[in-house]
Amino acid sequence: MKQLLSIFLAILCLQSCYSQNQPSKKTSMDQSKNNTHPNYSHTDSSKLVLTNSEWKNLLSPEVYAIAREKGTERPFTSPFETSKKLGTYHCAACGNPLFKSNAKFDSGCGWPSFFEPITKSSILYLPDNTLGMKRIEVECGRCKAHLGHVFEDGPQPTGLRYCINGVVLDFEEK
């Protein structure tokens, strides 16, 4: 019985950044995902409210699954996780600037990790108690796309680790 309980707890711990709702494809870092729709902008900070049907028509199935259905990509599949390029990471759904590359670090968790967003309004924070865990979900401050979660085990100066799905990121090289 103790072994079974230990296995169950280990599975819950491993799922702290991972859920079963995941896209099946890897994305290429050089691939432009969504910057062709009329609402995509790196400069417009106005709130973007669209129906799920509208989002489904604008986004790739992989981005839609994460951004609108709160999925999670498989760990260690995003080329952004190990990228050292300098630039800005944007929301793949709307183009909102989210993170600078100088706030990125290698956390070893399997997803791109950052210690702070570009601005306080870039990110929204929501409680997430799914699977019996207490976590903080992070969403895009402009379009409310699900990005990932934030944990309090990151490096200084913030002590935070924003664990972000690479599928919902676009990158603009400096």
Q: Domains, the chain, ranges and CATH? A: 28-173 (2.170.150.20)
> What whole-number distance in Å separates Cα of residue 90 and Cα of residue 100?
9
- pLDDT, position 37: 87
Predicted confidence (pLDDT) per residue in 92-123, tens digit: 999 999 999 999 999 999 999 999 999 999 99
Q: Is 163 a catalytic residue?
A: yes
Lowest mean pLDDT among 36-50, 66-80, 139-153: 36-50
Query: Token digits for 12?
Result: 């819950």
- pLDDT, position 169: 98
| Residue 24 pLDDT class (50, 70, 90 cuts) | very low
- How many CB atoms sit inside 10 A of residue 120's CB? 8
